[in-house]
Amino acid sequence: MIALLIRDLRLAVRAGGGFGLGLAFFLLVAVIVPLGVGPEPATLAKISPGILWVGALLSCLLSLDRIFALDFEDGSLDLLATSPMPLEGVVTVKALAHWLVTGLPLVLVAPVLGLLLNLPGAGYAWLLASLALGTPALSVIGAFGAALTVGLKRGGLLMSLLVLPLYLPTLIFGAEVVRRGAQGLAVGTPLALLAGITAGSLALLPFAAAAAIRVNLR
Amino acid sequence: MSIWEYANPKRFMQTSGVLLPWVTAAALVCLIAGLIWGFFLTPDADKFGSTVKIIYLHVPAAMMAISAWMMMLVASLIWIIRRHHVSALSAKAAAPVGLTFTLIGLVTGAIWGEPMWGTWWAWDPRLTSFLILALFYLGYIALWQAVEDPDTAADLTSVLCIVGSVFAFLSRYAVLFWNQGLHQGASLSVDQAEHVADVYSNPLYVCIAGFILLFVSLVLLRTRTEIRARRMQALLARERLA
Amino acid sequence: MELRITNLAVARAGVPVLEGVSFALRPGQALVLRGPNGIGKTTLLRTVAGLQPALAGDIAVAAESVAYAAHADGVKATLTVTENLAFWAAAYGSGGVAAAMAAMDLASLADRRAGNLSAGQRRRLGLARLLVTGRPIWVMDEPTISLDAASVQLFAGVVRAHLADGGAALIATHIDLGLEAGVLDLTGHKAKPPAAGGRVGTFDEAFG
């Protein structure tokens, strides 16, 4: 399992484009929105929690198809499925690798982009907390979507259509944490619900994703 | 005599072929009667004026939009557990019908919302969750269309339907949390205090019965079409092999 | 460590392709599958490897004893030869990376990125993976594709050593590897259409 994690991280680093691209996209979102909405600081402060969360979500979406598609194309997925590692574990490790390569960097740069978007001072801690809690759910839900579409030729667009509705609860609670935090309100409830979604997804979705991969390899 | 006998495609085709005209006729009778009764034979409401009469489309469509997804969930579970092809195909057949009901619910809601709230669209929890439901339907239908092998498609869409149900449910509560809305409570409820007056609710019951029958009739028809399409595919595949 | 197949029927995309396949593979034995393209060799091997369910019949084999080598060899272009093999060794909880590289004549390429290998070298790397799995029964789909004559001899030697070591091999190939192997021609096991009294597949079960 650890060997698979190391392999996936090594592949992501060597292939390039993996996490650099996601971060660049996140930055682009943070630049494009003020250009479109106008530079009014009060407006930006109001919408920044939502923009940051939507940006993180879209950046995450961008690299999902790499989770299984590359391994499917070169036959590694067949070999992984016949190896002694349980496929559920393979899915979990691959989702973890995706989070380390995509989600974690997003969490770390988000405060900088918060500055660009004039996020109120009270919001930064909650931005970090909500993204750190929520992005693992994005990775594992995305791994499920990637597993559903792994055998398809033009699966990318379809996967977005499947994954985005599944992302909505995470997005709503995540952005709500930041919005309430930025206004100095209590954030306990949305934060707990966000943690609940992440924990539930981590516990259950690897089974659904592994089932989908088995079906797709059949 | 077990209910699973109807899961045999031949048996299903025989039985549904007999039932279909009757169900369709009953649906038409209920819908025509209910809508005429509702639109023309009920008084205008004090507060709402004649706009209230759109509930005869809006409420049954919204109810069936959710019920159709539930039916797909049950059919998906049956496919995964018992591998009855008719079950998987009926789920496939129900999805576009459910999507249409969802869209009818949204459009009639918008038409009603304009005079009532002064806006075609508001990010009200109910409206938003119906929009999200429409997205789930779209994804489900798209997955069916994208996967070539029918059994693979049935398996994948069933898994999606089950996972999607959980997330649709979560979205419903997330949206409630996100924005307390301006939508009125349920039009029909066991609690008499919230109940609309009998003079309005009686035609509504007829319309709901009509929509349920219409749904059954459409799903039967579409499932029969799917079974025939599968038979054709099987013949073609066999010919390619021979 | 015996692989016993009894009256196996397999389907591709729900349509039965092979039926009535029976054979037993004991330690030290090899079996070569033959038959024209599209007869279902790959489908049969994938079924034996556990990637797809059998339509009928029985596959009796001890758990965790089969190593499968597919058409595509799952070599990662951005990893070095050693890294590729070390990963699979770790995945199977075994060792022998250096021995495997020596056996497949890859030692001089150890630190080369797999993306820079020739097709034949890449194939040798894919086959070396079988050695590091430590599994007794090798199930191989066209293992000699893009190997030159010398490499085929090298590979045949590796298989022979594996058999002598108590292993077994099930190989779909058209090349004569010079092994003392049984040959199973699948042509006679082609599934009959239902019209001729053949089996009905899941695809058209009760539809036909």
pLDDT in tens, C143-161: 888 888 888 888 888 888 8
Q: Is B169 inside any structural domain? A: yes
Q: What is the distance between the alpha carbons of residues C3 and A169, in angstroms, rounded to a whole number?
A: 49
Is residue B6 domain-resident? no
Spell out the residues 6+ positions from residue B203 whose beta carbon is closer than 8 angstroms to its own: B34, B35, B37, B38, B41, B42, B56
Question: Would the CB atoms of C13 and B10 count as touching at under 8 Å?
Answer: no
CB-CB under 8 Å, B174 with A165: no
pLDDT band at C103 (very low <50, low <70, confident <90, very high): confident
Least CB-CB distance to A169: which of B135, B162, B170?
B170
Domain with B165, as residue range(s), is 55-200+220-241
pTM of the predicted structure, to 2 decimals: 0.90
A122-138 pLDDT, tens digit each: 889 999 999 999 999 99
- Chain A: give the shortest CA distance to residue B178, in Å: 7
Q: Map residue A85 onto helix, strand or coil.
A: coil
Instruction: Read off the amino acid at residue A190.
Output: P
DSSP state of B188: S
**Residue B242 pLDDT grade (very low, low, confident, very high; cuts 50, 70, 90):** low
- Weakest mean pLDDT among A56-70, B92-106, B157-171, C179-193: C179-193
Contacting chains of A (3 CB pairs or more, <8 Å) are B, C
Q: Across the interface, which of B142, B159, B178 has its CB nearest the CB of A212?
A: B159
By the CB < 8 Å criterion, does A89 face chain C? no
| pLDDT at residue A154 greater than cutoff 90 | no
CB contact under 8 A, B132 and A212: no
pLDDT band, residue A177 (cuts 50/70/90): very high
Chain A residues with CB inside 8 Å of C91's CB?
3-4, 80, 83-85
- Give chain B's radius of gyration (CA, Å): 20
Torsion of CA A48, A53, A54, A59, to 10 degrees: 120
Please state the length of chain B.
Answer: 242
Task: Look at residue B129 and tell me if it is in a domain.
Answer: yes
Asked if B99 and B141 count as a contact pair (C-beta separation under 8 A), the reply is yes
Query: Residues of C with CB below 8 A from A82's CB?
Result: 49-51, 66-68
Residue C16, Ramachandran bin (φ over 0: left; ψ between -120 and 50: alpha; else beta): beta
Q: Is residue B39 part of a domain?
A: no
Please list, in sequence order, all residues whose beta carbon lies within 8 angstroms of the beta carbon of residue B198, skipping any fewer than 6 positions away: none
Q: Within chain B, where are the H helices?
A: 9-40, 55-82, 85-117, 125-146, 150-178, 198-241
Place of tokens 């969750």: B129
Measure Cα distances from B220 to B9, B18, B38, B76, C115 in Å.
Answer: 12, 11, 27, 16, 54
Contact C52 A218 (CB under 8 A): yes
Tokens of A61: 């979406």
Percent of chain C scoring above 90 in pLDDT? 0
The answer as to whether B34 is a domain residue is no
- Quick check: is B107 in a domain? yes
* Average pLDDT of chain A, as a whole number: 90
C2 in reach of chain A (CB within 8 A): no
Residues of C in contact with A85 (CB under 8 A): 91
Structurally, chain B folds into a number of domains equal to 1
| Beta carbons of B85 and C206 less than 8 Å apart | yes
In a domain, B146, yes or no: yes
List CB contacts (< 8 A) between A76 and chain C: 74, 76
Q: Higher model confidence: residue B49 or residue A139?
A: A139
pLDDT at position B193: 45
Q: What are phi and psi of A215, to 5 degrees?
A: -65, -40
Of B146, B156, B171, the CB nearest to A168: B171
Nearest CA in chain A to C129: A79
On the question of pLDDT at B142 being above 90, the answer is yes
User: What's the average model confidence in pLDDT over B187-210?
Assistant: 71
**pLDDT value at B192 more than 50:** no
| Within a domain: B81 | yes
**CB pair distance less than 8 Å for C14 and B8:** no
